[in-house]
Chains A and B, each alone.
Chain A
Amino acid sequence: MLEVKDIYKEYDGLPLLNGLSFEVAQGELVCLLGPSGSGKSTMLRIIAGLEEPASGRIFWDGQNITALPAHQRGFGLMFQDYALFPHKTVKENVAFGLRMAQRPKEEIDQIVRQSLGSIRMLSFADRPVTELSGGEQQRVALARALAPDPRLLMLDEPLGALDHNLRTELLNDLRQSLRASQKPVIYVTHDQEEAFALADRLLLLHEGRLLQKGSPEEVFRQPANAWVASFLGLGNLIPASRSENGQIRTEVGALALPYPETFQIGEQFSLLLRPEDAHIAFQEQEKALNITAQVLDCVFFRDYYRLEVKTKGQSLFVHAKQVFQPGEEVMLHWQEEDILCFPN
């Protein structure tokens, strides 16, 4: 089991990692999700032993491995650009880790054959890796990382270099290979679709801090703060404050919800209004935020129309079942139980 404790790292005098701590359990697939520059790749490189933390420790099964050189850690790492050795063939690339471990030749041959067979690339064994397509390179890189049977597998944006169509296609393959390997996996990505499709647990990283840990469903249902909600594109975030009667007030309308006790009086906060939770009706609803708005735009998506509406200077997105014309007035409401409050 991997334990990361209180890792700090600076880059060019600026803090890059600000006290990161987390664990990865046996067989668990953890996704490190965050925008570029959030420090996720650096975290991965520190675990791999390619960079040193300014402070903090890394443990494997209770043993401190912070100072252990990369080549003695027995971890696997797949790079975003795959870093396949351009002067070696497909077979030689996959065999590299096994050769470094000084396995007998017959065993290496057998493992390589098996590994290439499982990714349907046995016929490519003697090709130079430079002749492979992006998707093929990705599969070889994964096979190379897995061949020496690492204790932990790390992947740095493994689908980042591929175009969108190929990515969706390979995502499923990747999910199956990673599940089948039964290894603990740390998967770094900025793409929430990938993270949600793969992860047992998500770690949301922003400016070198972990903002939230939890299963994809937990994170989706209960984002920890406005930044998470906005990064995941969960919906409309509108500023809110406390009204005189101790309830919540927003620029678009008042809400009969009591002011959350955890917030201080006068503190600004945000409400999350998810587009898919919006109801379009003809009368005001009880226990809901009621809004009258004007349609600015209506775009057809596969199973809904996305309306952009405007009310009191705020622009909101909502999903509708039927088409509306720009300029039309609509009445919208969000049920109280669907609305989330975050401190700013």
Chain B
Amino acid sequence: MTTPVSKRPTLYQQLQHHIVPRLLVSLFIVGTLLCATIFYFAQIQITSEQQKFTEYLKADLQYSLENTQQLMQGIASNDLLINSFIDIEQRENYLPVFFQSLKFTRTEQFSLGLFQFDGSPIISRNWEGVVPAAFSDAWQYTTLQRSEPYRQVNEEGVLISVPVIISSQAEGALVLFLPFMQAFINARGNDAYQFILSDKNTILYTSHPARFPPGSLYARNEFMGWIAEEQSWLGLSFISQAPVFNAFSNVLWLVPAILMTLGSAILVSIYTSNQAARLSATTLQSLHDSIRQSARKKTAISSQAPDNEPQELFAIRGAFDGLIQNLMSMSLSNQQFSNVIDSLEEVLVVVDDDNNKLLINRTFTEYAKEFEITDSELLAIKRKLESGIDHLERHYLAAPIAIPVTIRWTMLPLTDDTRKQLGTILVGNDTTHKKSLENRINVISHAMKSATVALLIADAQAEGFPAIYVNPHFSTVTGYAEDQVLGQPTLFLNGMKAPQKKLIEVNAALHSGSSFNDTLLCYRQNDVPFYNQLILTPVYTDEVLTHFVVFFQDVTEQEQTQQFLEDAKQRAEESARLKSGFLASMSHEVRTPLHGVSGALQLVNKTNMTKEQLRYISLAKDSLRNLQHIVDDILDFSKIEAGQLGMEAIQYDLPLLLHTIYEQNSIACQNKGLTLLLETNLQPHTRVIGDPVRLRQILSNLLSNAVKFTEQGTITIKIDMQRSRNGAWLLKGVIEDTGIGIATNNLDSIFEVFRQEDISTTRRFGGTGLGLSISRQLCRLLGGDLFATSKKGQGSQFIFTLALGYVDATSRTDPSIEDTSPALGPHGKAKVLIVEDNEINQLIAREHLSQHKTMTTRHGKEALEALNRMKLTFDMILMDCHMPEMDGFETTKRIRNGEAGEKYKNVPIIALTANAMKGDKEQCYSAGMDDYISKPFTAQDLQDVVAKYMA
């Protein structure tokens, strides 16, 4: 039996009963604890405050003592005071004044004395009869005997003495005495009662001197119950104290405040609990009412909740509403159920144990009608399925034209609540379409499996685009089995160790759903690298990216071939570079000894010799000249090969040049009994722009060939200036001889490298076989060409053309190259510094310039030293370019920077170098050199250049 509602206590009453007494008890405990804590901490704070005051008092006294002592030490080391110990005659003139000016405390009530080494006073102030005699022994011992400062504080006063030191020993003392400590301490403002007491409890200092006069005895019982802190130092007691009431007065006002707070807390609590109880009761009542109403109306609509209903009650109301709604919907019509099964695509038949159809759906009706599925057919199906097989496929043919359909039958038992079988449910699926798809997939799948291209399919919608299919050829190519690859992200490229950079690109393509095609260096499972051509194709179904199809092709062989070709190209280029480097060094290495030999021969030639010796020298010189020609040829050829031969475009006097060449060669012709003719048709252009050196070279070469291969007759030089089709001027030259001629079929091959007409020619006439080749190349470089016509035995014609610019006769500003050569003639003695590391070259240069004053240094450093050290001033410097320690370029730069002194900043510097490659000249000029002589040079070359810069 439960208690009737009316007898039960209300929620309100119950809450009141439980909450209010507990609330009151806990508020009382909290209040008491709070008060106790406040008083406790207040006491601690007051105590620590007094402790702090005591420390301050002690520190104040200490500070005053220290400060005064320091002041006194300062005075004691004052030289006037020290001097007064020695200057006993006249100290009376200044010591008293000095002494009277000293002040130590706020009051004048102090005694000060200056004492001799033996304690006898020199001068004192307010001393006799004031300073208790008991003090003197102690300070005299410490200060006069031990030369240390001394301090004493007791009830008779404060005494400080400091030594007067001469040569680290006290010769006297300065002593200060204060009868009262009161004036000695600067009190800090606080309301505590502070005292300094002697060991006999006499008050030496107090913060309240009016009430406790210093010198009186301190009565402890006057301060019973005060909060006091005491410390002792120097035999003194330091006391700071405050009355207890003072201590607590700071917090007493808090007590009523706390009581009031507690009272209000009680009232508020009672009121709040009342309100809570009332609110709960009301809410529960209203819930009860609305549920009852809902139940009575039997409607599924939700009961009406008041707006301010609490969360929990609102949830309960919701649960009740849901329950009612469920009950209501249980009676939803069978109509709906029929609709549902009719809408199924599957064929559905429910039969009882007696094979009566209990339920069929619309699909069954349609199929039964179309394909004549009879009851006996159903029975047959049922029987077969009951025999234990999982499913059954039956083919039905309707009309002769229709395609047969396949229905896949399955069976389910129909049971009631007690699991008792009531009948059987037969479900039929039309699998016709699915079958045909399966066949199709089977074919494609087979194709993929047997394909000889590696294939991978990745899921585009899964995270990391995992591989979901690889074909067997994939394993053949990569060596990885299918199960190692499936599920792996990023097309398994990580597995194949593809380069990270490519992976980023592939990933980008994957994420953007775009196609990708590139060759990647990958590794098979056995770590053998291979070039993998990757073709990535995205697959979109209904515009949604679903998969990626990826083809991998092993293109290692192609890649290797390409790599090989590239390597070969690089090697070829490298080889070319090495070759030009070799030539550059050859140029220097070969010319240097040649220069040596040439110079030495020139020097020997100057000495007295027999006829026979002269003839040998002449032979040697001829051979040397030939050798130089050969070397020049080889170098020129190499330079052309290396693309290092630059053509100049400078103004020169063409008739003058032709005339000079004619003069030079006519001597050789005369010697051989040949006639040399010069025919020119130069139009009005005598000053042209081009490379005179190369023109001279071409002409000399052709002429020397002509002379060489002509035994008798005439050699003719014909020079025409013609206008070419594009309006530029072209120089056409023809060198005609009456020599041995060249066979027609050899006319082209004579321009090939190292080619003379035949081996016998080489034996007969010598030469490098490079001359014609070089000349033709030069012509071509100069915008023209060179070719030959000839008849064997009747002489040859060498025809060349060159492009030339010309200068108006009026705008003749630049001096021609010929003009730059200085007029020869007698000059004064020049002072020349030769900077050259090769001893032979040094000797040659010195000898060649024997009519001048010369000095040689072995390298740049020596040269700088000589320039700085020597008193005489050099007129010019001949500078080798390549030297140990410091080369000519560096040396020149330093001289130009003034490192050899201001006077050499602009001294003429002429490079002497065996370097003949392109760019050397520019390097010399850019280093700041003025001119350039290429080795081997002749005595004349040297003398000319010296004469030029002497002028």
**Physical interaction between A and B:** no
B residues bordering A, Cβ < 8 Å? none
A interface with B by C-beta (< 8 Å): none
